[in-house]
Amino acid sequence: MLEHLSQTCLLADPNNHCARIWDRFEDEVPEWTFVVIPFLSTADSRHDFFVVNDIMEFIDDALEGLTFLHAQGIAHRRVSPSTIRTDESPLYPGGFHPIVRWRLPDFTPRHAPSYSRSTARTRVRNYYTGFGDAVPGGPPEAFRADVAALGRLLDTYFTERYSRTEFLAPLVADMKSGRPTAAEALAQWRATRARTSWVGRMRRLPVRSDDESWVWVVLLDVFFMVLMLLERLPAPVRLRMSAISCLPENASWYGWG
């Protein structure tokens, strides 16, 4: 399945958010073939979602990728947090150790410089994996089940976990019902996204379990907004400010370490 989805003609599709095959080789056992794909992490394995835009970019990839799969006549059948994975390389400009994330690849006792999702210089991408149960040309119920599974994932990991995600409620409810197709859910999502301003996208995501006073909420919101504005400054200005603040040149204003 991955080989089919990694064809050059399909890789050119911007909605193809399926893991890419880097290489493949045969095993001594004729029935076995090994494929090499990028090192991908579960979406919430290391870096939390700090601002609303972090969630929005994840939903972009998840819905575009599912729409692409269904357009190819493929039902995934295992949509879950373990099968939608993240390429975290933009978050670690110097690389990272695959087991101990805060270490550099050579495991030297130094923190690996890191960015948050929203401050990374390159957009973080999310990919579908786990195609063991994928069915080409499956029954209509299989495609609806994919949409419902993704809706439940968004509900569990975003709307139930974070405040300020109420704008997702109509989309999530429709998807969980299994009524819309992936393409219809994507169209609904893009309409919702278009109504969200830049300020709305850059708002901090409080965890619902945190008991924050309104004063603390306001202070944190202002702090995060200032950081996001600083990240949009030209690189020379950021370097001068990093020198003043004693931060390393490649450090993010938050998400460092």
Q: What is the tens place of the pLDDT at every residue in 205-222? A: 888 876 777 677 778 777
Residue 172 has pLDDT above 80, yes or no: yes
What would the two tokens of residue 183 be? Answer: 């393409």
The pLDDT value recorded for residue 55 is: 95
pLDDT tens per residue, range 38-76: 889 886 655 578 889 999 999 999 999 999 999 999 999
Query: Mean pLDDT over residues 173-181, rounded?
Result: 95
Q: How far apart are CA 99 and CA 107, in angstroms?
A: 10
Residue 253 has pLDDT above 70, yes or no: no
Nearest to 95 by CA among 87, 105, 86, 85: 105
Q: How far apart are CA 183 and CA 228, in angstroms?
A: 32
Q: How far apart are CA 257 and CA 254, in angstroms?
A: 9
**C-alpha angle 219-220-226 in degrees, rounded to nearest 5:** 95
CB–CB of 121/115 below 8 Å? yes
For a pLDDT cut of 70, what percent of the chain falls above it? 85
Which residue is it, tokens 């579908």? 128
Q: How far apart are CA 154 and CA 148, in angstroms?
A: 10
The pLDDT value recorded for residue 231 is: 64
The pLDDT value recorded for residue 145 is: 96
Residue 240 has pLDDT above 50, yes or no: no
The pLDDT value recorded for residue 136 is: 87
Query: Under 8 Å CB-to-CB from 146, ≥6 apart: which residues?
Result: 66, 69, 70, 75, 76, 77, 79, 182
Nearest to 127 by CA among 49, 37, 198, 188: 37
Task: For 82-125, give the DSSP string.
Answer: TTEEEE-GGG-TT---SSSTTB-TT--SSBPP---TTT-SS--E
Burial of residue 196, with CB atoms counted within 10 A of its CB: 0-12 exposed, 13-18 middle, 19 or more buried = middle
φ, ψ dihedrals at 40, nearest 5°: -120, 145
pLDDT tens per residue, range 190-206: 999 999 998 889 888 88
Q: How far apart are CA 242 and CA 231, in angstroms?
A: 11
Mean pLDDT, the chain, as a whole number? 83
pTM above 0.85, yes or no: no
pLDDT tens per residue, range 89-136: 898 888 888 888 778 888 887 788 888 888 788 899 999 999 988 888
pLDDT tens per residue, range 224-236: 777 766 665 554 4
First-to-final CA distance of the chain: 38
2-88+124-210 carries CATH number 3.90.79.10: no
**What Cα–Cα distance (Å) separates residue 178 from each residue in 29, 43, 76, 97?**
41, 23, 15, 40
The pLDDT value recorded for residue 154 is: 96
The pLDDT value recorded for residue 124 is: 92
